[in-house]
Chains A and B, each alone.
Chain A
Amino acid sequence: MSLKATHDLHRRRFGRNLGVGLALAAFIVLVFGLTIVKMSNADRVMPAATEAAD
């Protein structure tokens, strides 16, 4: 016999898990975006620094 998740408890737990999952996914996207921006900035600064050293 299978158990059915009909209790309000299951709904709240699902909501909580979904919230945590979405927050983690958003965090990953944010860190990725931040990395790209930081690396692009570094690319812009680096040539200038190497030119100055010439």
Chain B
Amino acid sequence: MSDVSITSIREDDAGFGDYFALLKPRVMSLVVFTALVGLMAAPVPVHPLIGFCAILFIAIGGGASGALNMWWDADIDRIMTRTRKRPIPSGRVQPGEALSLGLGLAGLSVVMLALATNWFAGAFLAFTIFFYVVIYSMWLKRSTPQNIVIGGAAGAFPPVIGWVAATGGMAVEPWLMFALIFMWTPPHFWALALFMRSDYDDAGVPMLTVTHGRRATRVHILVYTVLLAALALGAAFSGIGGPIYLCVSAVMNLLFLHGAWRIWQRSEPGAEADNFHCEKRFFRLSLLYLFLHFGAILAEALLRPWGLGGWG
């Protein structure tokens, strides 16, 4: 028997990078950053290695959710231009491989986070993975236009897990960080849905743009942005806030409100005429908005030991 006869040749064999892409690295970077801020903002010293492990396993848990989401959504990912090149629709990774990787990493991340920090944090991570995969991906995403609103909670949990990993308990502050991401998610995704015009239509995903129309989506973006601004500015006077946070938040919320106002004012022909310039700008601004808010929370936390962070 020759070597060739016992080797199954698959021309599309996946490389390491393809499996890594299953973990949605860009989403993972957001998870890492917000979880880090949650951990650092906690009023408890954490050993650097334990802190590193906590963030790593939260990130791996987030990655596992991404792999399971890609396994479940492979059929609609094949239809949408934005997701067509993902490892499963492009044929580089088999669905079964993504499922195995997702389940394996989910189990590993939960157990390791629990061992490295505490079982409360591990349980919270397990719940987050369950929420993203089962509640959001399998249930809400294809059944209700509120998919992004409720599903956004999954992306909002990492700072709470970071805080719990550090303290082993709960407080108001991590839930303010949770609320910040929770309220930020809908305008962020609805702006994307406005300029990724036909993607969600074609895939039959009941995004607000599909079920209630584009005018209603513009109104929703403005309403959520106003509520988000109130929440973000209010958080400045809580335990995670301070003068730095207040300045950053004031500037960013003014810009964000202005962007949402312009989106609300626009008509469809006007938006199409400049190829959704405002919507795309608002989407990019939303990324900076969240990054700077959490950056400011981190800055307040890091300055606290010198008596500079917070309101003193």
Contact flags (1/0) for A33-48 with B, using CB distance below 8 Å? 1100100010000000
Other than the known A34-B49, A37-B50, what 16 A-B pairs have Cβ atoms closer than 8 Å?
A: A3-B3, A9-B9, A9-B11, A9-B13, A12-B15, A13-B13, A15-B17, A16-B13, A19-B16, A19-B19, A19-B20, A20-B16, A30-B56, A34-B50, A34-B53, A34-B116
Q: Quote the shortest CB–CB distance from A2 to chain B (angstroms).
A: 10
Q: Is the CB of A15 within 8 A of B49?
A: no
Asked if B15 contacts A16 (CB within 8 A), the reply is yes
Q: How far is the CA of A19 from the CA of B49 in the complex (A)?
A: 23
Subset of 11 A-B contacts with CB under 8 Å: A3-B3, A9-B9, A9-B10, A12-B13, A12-B14, A13-B13, A16-B16, A18-B16, A34-B49, A34-B53, A37-B50
Q: Do A30 and B9 touch across chains, with their CB atoms under 8 A apart?
A: no
Give the A interface residue count (CB, 8 A): 14
Minimum CB–CB distance from A33 to chain B (whole Å) comes to: 5
* Interchain nearest-CB distance for A41 vs B (Å): 7
> How far is A50 from B60 in the complex, measured between Cα atoms in Å?
38
B82 proximal to A (CB < 8 A): no
B residues less than 8 Å from A41 (CB atoms) = 47
* Separation of A12 and B87 alpha carbons in the complex (Å): 14
| Complex contacts, A15 vs chain B, CB 8 Å | 15-17
Interface residues of B in 159-217 (CB under 8 A from A): none
| In contact, A33 and B49 (Cβ under 8 angstroms) | yes
Which A-chain residue is minimally distant from B52 (CB atoms)? A30
In the complex, what residues of B have CB within 8 A of residue A16's CB? 13-16, 19
Task: Please give the distance in Å from B13's CB to the nearest CB on chain A.
Answer: 5
- DSSP class of B's interface residues: helix, strand, loop or mixed? helix
Measured between beta carbons, the chain A residues less than 8 angstroms from B53 are: 30, 34
Q: A39 vs B269: C-alpha distance in the bound complex, in angstroms?
A: 66
- Distance between Cα atoms of A20 and B14 in the complex (Å): 13
Task: Point out which of B10, B15, B53, B115 has the most chain A C-beta atoms below 10 A from its C-beta.
Answer: B15
Nearest-neighbour CB distance to chain A for B1, whole angstroms, equals 14
User: Which residues of A are found within 8 Å of B4, using beta-carbon distances?
Assistant: 3
Give bound CA distance, A10 to B9, whole Å: 10
Measured between alpha carbons, how far is A41 from B56 in the docked complex, in Å? 21
Minimum CB–CB distance from A40 to chain B (whole Å) comes to 9
Q: Once the chains are docked, how many angstroms separate the CA of A18 from the CA of B15?
A: 10
Nearest A residue (CB) for B57 = A30
Q: Which residues of A contact B49 (CB under 8 A)?
A: 33-34, 37
* B115 neighbours in A (Cβ, 8 Å): 34
A15 to B14 CA separation, bound complex (whole angstroms): 10
A50–B13 Cα distance when bound, in Å, is: 58
Chain B residues 102-119 with CB under 8 Å of chain A are: 115-116
Q: Within the assembled complex, what's the spacing in Å between the Cα atoms of A37 and B11?
A: 46
| Bound: A30/B48 CA distance, A | 12
Chain B residues near A34: list those with CB within 8 A.
49-50, 53, 115-116
The distance in angstroms between the C-alpha atoms of A16 and B20, with both chains bound, is 10
Q: Which of chain A's residues have a CB closer than 8 A to the CB of B15?
A: 12, 15-16
> In whole angstroms, how far apart are the Cα atoms of A12 and B15 in the complex?
5
Complex Cα distance A16/B16, Å?
4
